[in-house]
């Protein structure tokens, strides 16, 4: 069977959940035995989101091969449970970069380089490159909203794909908004009709409409949309606001989204086996405990900056029969004097990743509070480095201990490795993607993983400084995870603390709703035990 293609576009406004729709469809098709691969096109001119502000773009999701990608790839991986690569995240900048480099090499033989055919051909090449032997269906999400000038080359390219492929090989899914009038509560489909009209003007007739709404749509509205938008009534799919994120695939299955897609693509499949997924959602909705976790970071005004961390906490909460209540703490405003008040009542403290020196003193204050008050602590990337600095300052007595990323000091306990000293450009050399790690016998981490060697994803430039390794260990710090050559410190622990772990990598990128990451699971388990002990 040749590879089939599903294209997901959005209309009316952005932020309607195209990514969740694409991810949910991927899960449903996978549960039918279909081999799927997700892909995201973003209209911004940046080559990738790696150097974009978290306030502009949210988190940067890192794939196994080290690509810095859009956060929707995190949704794809969590829902579909398939590891993606950099080929799954393509921006306008990446497209133009490829075309311009080709033009400079003379590949176009002096031809005038234009949007059509050169840019659209490069977009199509990226789409067709996903059609590998082990892929039955490629699900490609087009970022932005129909009508945006930035999205037009992508829409023209997918129109061409439909024209080039045999009938039945391509399905267009459009995600518009059903508007509810304030006051009267009346549902209006006119914005959806106009959005589809805009898509038709570009030569694309949507096959399926996944209508985003806060309340269920009526049959009258469904028939009206089908009539005016030229689709079959059962192809108007209701996407009402779900109680939990992971309930969306179940609601989409109930609406028959996967059934319609399989019919349109001519796929003969069995019914999706959603028993385990349903059981996981039921556990999430019926969790009996509540645990409060302080997330101390520098980008807390935009929660999407820590999207995978939040989801990983929720995964671990579900596995521990607990709802995780996150207390967002801005590290820039946190001080040692205010830590007791602002962190009071939290059963766990987490400091996530980040770059730059803004807010680091607040993070160090949070680490000290967790260490001295025996509160479970989890440091991720920068959070692990802050734990090392705090230990050096307040346990070893090196008051000037810091990272060479922030200042020049006699105790740069976090520093560039020798082969990185010439790195000067932002976005230059970083440790990105998967790297192996050997876990120390008897360590908490090895017990949680249940393995001697693991692989985790990284995104950082600075490392634990080996010049201070011996003093740290004598002072009571355990180096629980090292690179196979023993050169890089990946995990630190404090054995005399109830639960204190710092990881140089980003475990949140590998957590799944039905398979929480071991370190997040252990952190929430310890936090729940702390909460229960405090309430007895």
Active site residue 346: no
Annotated binding site for Mg(2+): 72, 141
Query: Exposure of 381 by Cβ count < 10 A (0-12 exposed, 13-18 middle, 19+ buried)?
Result: buried
pLDDT confidence bin for 485, thresholds 50/70/90: very high
Question: Number of C-alpha atoms within 13 angstroms, CB side, residue 253?
Answer: 21
Instruction: With a cut of 60, say whether residue 55 has pLDDT above it.
Output: yes
- Burial class of residue 462 in the structure, from the number of CB atoms within 10 Å of its CB (0-12 exposed, 13-18 middle, 19+ buried): buried
Binding-site sequence positions for CTP: 14, 148-150, 188-193, 224
CA distance 144 to 43: 7
Is 43:151 a contact under the CB 8 Å cutoff? yes
What does pLDDT average to over the chain?
Answer: 94
In which band, very low, low, confident or very high, does the pLDDT at 174 lie, cut at 50, 70 and 90? Answer: very high
The class of domain 287-535 in CATH terms is alpha beta
Within 350-505, residue ranges assigned H as helices are 360-372, 382-394, 444-449, 469-475
User: In this structure, is the dihedral angle defined by the CA atoms of residues 346, 348, 352 and 356, taken in order, positive or negative?
Assistant: positive
Catalytic residue among 235, 346, 381, 437: 381
pLDDT at 214 over 90: no
pTM of structure: 0.94
Sheet holding 453-460, edge to edge: 322-330, 289-297, 348-351, 377-380, 500-503, 489-493, 478-482, 431-439, 453-460
Q: Residues at the annotated binding site?
A: 14-20, 55, 72, 141, 148-150, 188-193, 224, 242, 354, 382-385, 405, 461
Residue 423's pLDDT is what?
A: 41
Q: What radius of gyration, in Å, describes the C-alpha atoms of the chain?
A: 25
- The helix/strand count (H/E) of the chain reads as 18, 23
Q: pLDDT > 90: what percent of the chain?
A: 86
DSSP one-letter code for 234: G
136-171 pLDDT per residue, tens: 999 999 999 998 999 999 999 999 999 999 999 999
What class does CATH assign to 4-279?
A: alpha beta
Residue 419 pLDDT: 63
Please, which residues have CB within 8 angstroms of residue 536's CB and are 6 or more apart in sequence? none
Annotated binding site for UTP: 14, 188-193, 224
**Which amino acids are annotated as binding site for L-glutamine, given as ranges?**
55, 354, 382-385, 405, 461
Predicted local distance difference test score (pLDDT) of residue 185: 77
pLDDT score recorded for residue 420: 56
Percentage with pLDDT > 70 across the chain: 98
Same fold, 4-279 and 287-535: yes
Q: Which DSSP letter does residue 277 get?
A: H
pLDDT of residue 1: 63
Catalytic residue among 255, 284, 508, 517: 508
> What are the domain boundaries of the chain?
4-279, 287-535
**pLDDT tens, position by position, 416-441:** 876 654 443 344 578 999 999 999 99
Give residue-wise pLDDT tens across range 302-339: 899 999 999 999 999 999 999 999 999 999 999 999 99
Residue 356 pLDDT:
85
506 is catalytic: yes
> 483, 498, 298, 484: which is closest to 382 by C-alpha?
298
State the catalytic residue, choosing from 174, 458, 497, 506.
Answer: 506
Answer yes or no: are the C-beta atoms of 77 and 37 closer than 8 Å: no
Question: What's the pLDDT at 418?
Answer: 65
The pLDDT score that the predictor gives to residue 127 is 97
Report pLDDT digits (tens) over 230-284.
Answer: 999 999 999 988 999 999 999 999 999 999 999 999 999 999 999 999 999 999 9
Structure-token pair, residue 424 = 């000067």
């Amino acid at each position: 069977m040749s590879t089939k293609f599903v294209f997901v576009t959005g209309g009316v406004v952005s932020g309607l959940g195209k990514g969740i729709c694409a991810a949910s469809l991927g899960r449903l098709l996978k549960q039918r035995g279909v081999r799927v691969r997700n892909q995201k096109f973003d209209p911004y001119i940046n080559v990738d989101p790696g150097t974009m502000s978290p306030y502009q773009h949210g988190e940067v999701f890192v794939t196994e091969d080290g690509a810095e990608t859009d956060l929707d790839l995190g949704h794809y991986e969590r829902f579909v449970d398939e590891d993606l690569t950099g080929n799954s995240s393509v921006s306008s900048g990446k497209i133009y970069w490829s075309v311009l480099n080709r033009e400079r090499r003379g590949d176009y033989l002096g031809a005038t380089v234009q949007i059509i055919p050169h840019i659209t051909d490069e977009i199509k090449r990226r789409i067709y490159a996903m059609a590998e032997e082990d892929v039955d269906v490629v699900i490609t999400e087009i970022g932005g909203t129909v009508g945006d000038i930035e999205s037009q080359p992508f829409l023209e390219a997918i129109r061409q794909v439909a024209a080039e492929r045999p009938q039945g090989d391509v399905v267009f899914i459009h995600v518009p908004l059903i508007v509810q009038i304030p006051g009267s509560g009346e549902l209006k489909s006119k914005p959806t009709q106009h959005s589809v009209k805009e898509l038709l003007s570009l030569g694309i007739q949507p096959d399926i409409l996944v209508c985003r709404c806060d309340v269920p749509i009526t049959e009258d509205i469904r028939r009206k949309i089908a009539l005016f938008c030229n689709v079959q009534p059962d192809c108007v799919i209701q996407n009402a606001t779900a109680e939990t994120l992971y309930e969306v695939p179940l609601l989409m299955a109930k609406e028959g989204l996967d059934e319609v897609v399989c019919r349109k693509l001519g796929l003969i499949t069995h019914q999706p086996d959603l028993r385990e997924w349903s059981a996981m959602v039921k556990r999430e909705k019926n969790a009996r405990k509540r645990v409060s976790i302080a997330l101390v970071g520098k980008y807390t005004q935009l929660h999407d900056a820590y999207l995978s961390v939040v989801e990983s906490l929720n995964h671990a909460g579900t596995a521990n029969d607990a709802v995780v209540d996150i207390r967002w703490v801005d590290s820039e405003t946190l001080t040692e004097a205010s830590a007791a008040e602002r962190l009071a009542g939290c059963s766990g403290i987490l400091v996530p990743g980040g770059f730059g020196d803004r807010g680091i003193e607040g993070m160090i204050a949070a680490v000290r509070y967790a260490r001295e008050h025996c509160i479970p602590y989890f440091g991720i990337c920068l959070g692990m480095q802050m734990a090392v600095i705090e230990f050096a300052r307040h346990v070893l007595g090196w008051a000037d201990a810091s990272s060479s990323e922030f200042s020049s000091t006699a105790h740069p306990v976090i520093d560039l490795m020798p082969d990185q000293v010439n790195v000067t450009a932002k976005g230059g050399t970083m440790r990105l993607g998967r790297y192996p790690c050997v876990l120390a016998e008897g360590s908490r981490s090895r017990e949680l993983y249940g393995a001697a060697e693991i692989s985790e994803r990284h995104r950082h430039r600075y490392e634990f400084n080996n010049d201070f390794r011996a003093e740290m260990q004598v002072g009571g710090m355990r180096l629980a995870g090292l690179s196979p050559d023993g050169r890089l410190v990946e995990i630190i622990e404090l054995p005399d603390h109830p639960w204190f772990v710092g990881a140089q990598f980003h475990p949140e990128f590998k957590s799944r709703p039905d398979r929480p990451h071991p370190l997040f699971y252990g952190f929430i388990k310890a936090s729940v035990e702390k909460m229960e002990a405090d309430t007895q």
